């Protein structure tokens, strides 16, 4: 098996293939680079073969819309160093290089299956896709007391950043999670934009919001402040045809949820299903692109007004946990029903806005 790309998805797959006894070749320009981005997701997605050592923090988050609602499902932040170490590649053959445009065809003569785990935007294939952007700062947890207001974490705070009653165009939300003991990441996030909200605007909103919440300015801008800038493609790159016996995994493929932009925990969760299919020799049936309905939902989201956006997440917070999980998975048998339930939970004006946004998105779909 040849795994191209050693982000969390490729490394997890290569590790589990090795444990299953496969002969594995891994290729990445920086094979031992530890991921720097914050990787978080839902606890229930963490597979049984990974234990708490790879978890930096777990919390039951709140979602703030018109009021504050608790999400009754544990949310976690991964400890990247621990995860990287845990996903040992001992026994793999490692090539420190970048696979070029014709490289996949060549690899099929060296490996029985080739896995494209190059992430959502492999270099050289950038095209315009909706992006998630965010600007964050890591502060001591005590400095974030006003943001948390007693909550363990904040999944989304959709209240306007400047305290006004009108939403900005487009709206952004604050995300707050513990990334290490006593350290809180506070991030102003544009869930999806085409074009996305620029980093400078998100930084301005973050500072204004944190000022309102009473976060001391030196915690935000002092010399020790750690900044995180986020740019996540909400869709994988164009689906160029790949040669036979090459399949996609991770953010390059079907693990990327176009509703959230996230894929890391879904990749870890799906790893063993892929290992089993690869070792059986029938991985072709596994989904290698995001669910079309999730793409449609992203298209509709991009057309929504800020007020309807908030109604959408207010409705999400009131769904039963099982349906919230399905929405965050972005696929599966219950996915259409969960989206329908979310739509039904919106007030009449929000429902109409979502129908109109979906229609506009379908009419303008490229
Ligand atoms: C600041 C930030 C915060 C984020 N927070 C979250 C989060 O909380 N939760 C979440 O799920 N996601 C988050 N994301 C998105 C996250 O980065 C992806 O979900 C995750 O890294 C995807 O993993 P992957 O292994 O599929 O791809 P990637 O992590 O993109 O890894 C791809 C690998 O392929 C290699 N590669 C690329 N091209 C080639 C080539 N031609 N030949 C060989 N190797 C190649 C790259 O070097 C890289 O190592 C965040 C992103 C950023 C930037």
Specify which residues 177 forms β-bridges with: 185
**Residue 217 CB coordination number (10 Å):** 10
Q: So what's the pLDDT on residue 222? A: 78
Q: So what's the pLDDT on residue 127? A: 63
Q: How far is the CA of 251 from the centre of ligand 1 (A)?
A: 7
Q: So what's the pLDDT on residue 121? A: 79
Q: So what's the pLDDT on residue 123? A: 54
Check if the beta carbon of residue 302 is closer than 8 Å to that of residue 235: no
Q: Which CATH class is domain 1-31+89-126+235-290?
A: alpha beta
What ipTM score was computed for the predicted complex, to two decimals? Answer: 0.99
Mean pLDDT (whole number) for 69-75: 97
Is the pLDDT at 129 greater than 80? The verdict is: yes
Q: Note the pLDDT tens digit of each residue in 222-267.
A: 777 889 999 999 998 766 678 999 999 999 999 999 999 999 999 9
Measured CA to CA in angstroms, residue 164 lies from 14, 28, 149, 209, 278 at distances of 50, 47, 19, 11, 54
Q: How far is the CA of 165 from the centre of ligand 1 (A)?
A: 37
Mean pLDDT over each residue of the chain, to the nearest integer: 94
Is the pLDDT at 120 greater than 70? The verdict is: yes
Q: What is the CA radius of gyration of the chain?
A: 21
Least Cα distance to 117 among 224, 222, 270 occurs for 270
Q: So what's the pLDDT on residue 124? A: 52
- Whether the link from the prior residue into 186 is cis, omega within 30° of 0, is no
Ligand 1 lined by 26 (C-beta under 6 Å): no
Residue 364 banded pLDDT, cuts 50, 70, 90 = confident
Residue 122 banded pLDDT, cuts 50, 70, 90 = low
**Ligand 1 atom 29: the closest Cα is on which residue?**
7
Least Cα distance to 35 among 248, 259, 251 occurs for 251
Residue 29 banded pLDDT, cuts 50, 70, 90 = very high
Q: Where are the beta strands (DSSP E) in 158-197?
A: 173-180, 183-193
Q: So what's the pLDDT on residue 221? A: 85
Is the pLDDT at 350 greater than 90? The verdict is: yes
Ligand 1 lined by 9 (C-beta under 6 Å): yes
The percent of residues above 70 in pLDDT, for the chain, comes to: 97
Pull the structure tokens for residue 64: 């703030």
Q: So what's the pLDDT on residue 224? A: 72
Residue ranges matching CATH 3.90.660 in the chain = 37-85+130-233
Ligand 1 atom at shortest distance from the alpha carbon of 8: 25
Is the pLDDT at 28 greater than 70? The verdict is: yes
Check if the beta carbon of residue 290 is closer than 8 Å to that of residue 254: yes
Block residue for tokens 């079309």: 292
Q: So what's the pLDDT on residue 184? A: 97
Check if the beta carbon of residue 106 is closer than 8 Å to that of residue 352: no
Q: How far is the CA of 341 from the centre of ligand 1 (A)?
A: 32
Q: How far apart are CA 256 and CA 249, in angstroms?
A: 9
Q: How far is the CA of 6 from the centre of ligand 1 (A)?
A: 9
Task: Please tell me the least confidently modeled range out of 14-18, 35-39, 63-67, 166-170.
Answer: 166-170
Specify which residues 27 forms β-bridges with: 4, 95
Ligand 1 lined by 179 (C-beta under 6 Å): no
**Ligand 1 atom 50: the closest Cα is on which residue?**
37
Ligand 1 lined by 118 (C-beta under 6 Å): yes
Q: Which residues contact 110 (CB under 8 A, 6 or more apart)?
A: 2, 25
Q: How far apart are CA 197 and CA 192, in angstroms?
A: 8
Is the pLDDT at 126 greater than 60? The verdict is: no
Ligand 1 atom at shortest distance from the alpha carbon of 6: 49
Is the pLDDT at 338 greater than 70? The verdict is: yes
Q: Note the pLDDT tens digit of each residue in 142-192.
A: 999 999 999 999 999 999 999 998 787 789 999 999 999 999 999 999 999
Mean pLDDT (whole number) for 37-44: 97
Q: So what's the pLDDT on residue 170? A: 84
Residue ranges matching CATH 3.50.50.60 in the chain = 1-31+89-126+235-290
Q: How far is the CA of 297 from the centre of ligand 1 (A)?
A: 23
CATH topology of domain 37-85+130-233: Polyamine Oxidase; Chain A, domain 2 (3.90.660)
Ligand 1 atom at shortest distance from the alpha carbon of 5: 34
Q: How far is the CA of 158 from the centre of ligand 1 (A)?
A: 26
Estimate to the nearest angstrom the gap between the alpha carbon of 346 and the chain centroid.
25
The percent of residues above 90 in pLDDT, for the chain, comes to: 88
DSSP state of 31: T
């Amino acid at each position: 098996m040849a795994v191209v790309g050693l982000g969390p998805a490729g490394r997890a797959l290569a590790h589990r293939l090795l444990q299953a006894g496969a002969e594995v070749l891994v290729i990445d320009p920086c094979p031992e680079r530890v991921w720097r981005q914050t990787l978080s997701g839902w606890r229930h997605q963490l597979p049984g073969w990974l234990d708490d050592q790879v978890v930096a923090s777990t919390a039951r988050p709140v979602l703030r819309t018109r009021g504050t609602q608790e999400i009754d499902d544990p949310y976690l932040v991964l400890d990247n160093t621990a995860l990287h170490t845990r996903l040992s590649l001992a026994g793999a053959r490692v090539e420190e290089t970048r696979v070029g445009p014709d490289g996949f065809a060549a690899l099929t003569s060296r490996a029985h299956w080739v896995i494209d785990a190059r992430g959502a935007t492999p270099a050289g294939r950038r095209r315009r896709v909706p992006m998630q952007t965010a600007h964050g700062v890591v502060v001591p947890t005590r400095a974030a007391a006003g943001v948390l207001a007693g909550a363990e974490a904040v999944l989304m705070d959709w209240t306007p950043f400047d305290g006004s009653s009108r939403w900005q165009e487009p709206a952004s939300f604050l995300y707050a999670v513990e990334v290490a003991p006593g350290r809180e990441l506070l991030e102003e996030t544009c869930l999806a934009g085409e074009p996305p909200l620029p980093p400078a605007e998100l930084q301005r909103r973050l500072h204004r919001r944190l000022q309102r919440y009473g976060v001391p300015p030196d915690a935000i801008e002092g010399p020790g402040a750690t900044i995180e800038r986020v740019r996540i493609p909400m869709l994988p790159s164009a689906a160029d045809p790949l040669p036979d016996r090459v399949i996609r995994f991770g953010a390059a493929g079907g693990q990327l949820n176009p509703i959230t932009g996230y894929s890391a925990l879904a990749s870890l969760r799906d790893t063993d299903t892929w290992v089993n299919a690869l070792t059986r020799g029938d991985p072709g049936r596994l989904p290698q692109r995001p669910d079309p309905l999730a793409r449609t939902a992203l298209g509709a989201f991009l057309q929504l007004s800020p007020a309807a956006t908030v109604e959408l997440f207010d409705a999400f917070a009131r769904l039963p946990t099982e349906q919230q999980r399905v929405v965050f998975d972005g696929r599966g048998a219950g996915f259409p029903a969960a989206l329908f339930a979310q739509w039904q939970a919106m007030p009449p004006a929000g429902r109409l806005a979502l129908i109109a946004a979906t229609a506009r998105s379908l009419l303008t779909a490229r």
